[in-house]
Amino acid sequence: MLLMDIKAALRSMAKGRLVNLMKVRQMDGDLIQPTESFLLQRMVEMIIDGNAMERHPVEAGVPQGSPVSLILFAIYTSGLIKSVEE
C-alpha cells in the first residue's frame, strides 16, 4: 500500500465503481449526485500543432489538481486500507 502509485491510480479510477461504493455505503445523496456530475460529464480534446482533434468522453479517472479528487480517491480506496490492515 505504501508503494502505491497515487498519480497513476487517480487516472485509472473507475467512476461507476466509485459512485456505486458511495451508494453501498449509504452516503448522502446530496454528495453522490455532484460526484456523478464531477466524474461523468468530462470530455477530452487533444490539440496537435494547433489542430483540434475530435472530443471524446473520459471513461476513467478523476481530475488531478482538485482537492475533491483526493477525497474521492480516499473513498475509492477505503476498502483496500481495511484489507491491508487485516
What DSSP string describes 12-58? H--HHHHHHHHHHTT--HHHHHHHHHHHHS-EE--EETTEEPPPEE-
State the pLDDT at residue 69. 80
Q: Which residue has the higher pLDDT, 74 or 26?
A: 26
pLDDT one-digit tens code per residue, 6-65? 666 666 777 778 888 888 889 888 888 888 887 777 788 888 898 888 888 877 777 777
State the pLDDT at residue 7. 60
Q: Which residue has the higher pLDDT, 68 or 40?
A: 68
State the pLDDT at residue 6. 60
